[in-house]
Amino acid sequence: MEIALVGIGKIAVDQHVPAIDASPDWKLAATVSRHGTVDGVPAYTDFTAMLQERPEIRVVSLCLPPVPRFAYAAEAIRAGRHVMLEKPPGATLSECHALEALARAHRVSLYATWHSRQAEQVAAARAFLAAAPLKRLEVRWREDVRHWHPGQDWIFEPGGMGVFDPGINALSIVTEILPDPIHLTTAELRFPENRQTPISADMAFFHPQGAEVTAHFDWLAEGAPEWTIEAETEAGYMLLEDGGAKLTIDGAAPEAAPPGLTGEYPRLYAQMAALVQAGGIDMDLAPMRHVADAFTLGRRVSVAPFHW
């Protein structure tokens, strides 16, 4: 299938383009971006023009920041194109619900991707947590924004999510691996004096079986990042590290998974191909609900200004 990639920034170049190039399902047939291009691929700067001139391209993958994404997705859906959304799928939950309703009305596929759910050991962690009652789960997601998003001021503007840009990756894993639904009870969000989105956050959740569930996000952590989920159950201790790539149970690694497709983004594109072929929609918004709850319920604390 031919696909157009919209928004040729760091994530598109680092992840989407290699995944598409390596996939037996896809051919990158066009790009749309104000500045970026991909060698050998027809490039457009106007999205509407691409849709009009390339009717044979039936699928669009949107790698834009969250705020402008709704307009692009809605235009593509109205033009009868299937749409794949980089995380988070929109700037608000209402936008996402509207896109799903529009996709159903136009009978096209829509996929809200959560790439961290496709990390190598997430499925094994889910299986372990399903086997015994949970006692405690702690998320620690700490990295340096200057390294991962250098100079990208949009992430500190309204809709940019701040520390929840990486934090939602952790929440996407948590909502995938826990057998019971959770919801936020308290949060503290720390906003730099000169910015509109938080630089760090602490969160606590209600668990229906009484387990202690917390999350700690920090975007000023220097050195190696920490992307860790630690859990204690009645059957033992689990440590999921490196954003879901490494798992130990009571200090030992589980048996290797059977050979199969590897890599988060290759798995996402394989799932998108399956959705298009089946005419399906996958718009799980559980990770985004937790972020929305944090902004609604969280205590706001002003901290020192942030400068690049």
Active site residue 10: no
Catalytic residue among 10, 27, 87, 246: 87
For helices 164-177 and 122-130, the axis angle rounded to 10 degrees is 50
170 close to 286: Cβ distance less than 8 angstroms? no
Report residue 46 CA to chain centroid gap. Answer: 26
Q: What's the N-to-C CA distance of the chain in angstroms?
A: 41
β-pairing, 82-85 vs 59-62, is: parallel
Provide the residue type at 3 as one letter.
Answer: I
Q: Residue 232: count other Cβ atoms within 10 Å of its Cβ.
A: 16
Q: Structure tokens of 138?
A: 């702690």
d(CA 123, CA 177): 7
* Residue 58, amino acid: R
The residue type at 289: R
Strand partners, 136: 212, 232
**Catalytic center residues:** 87
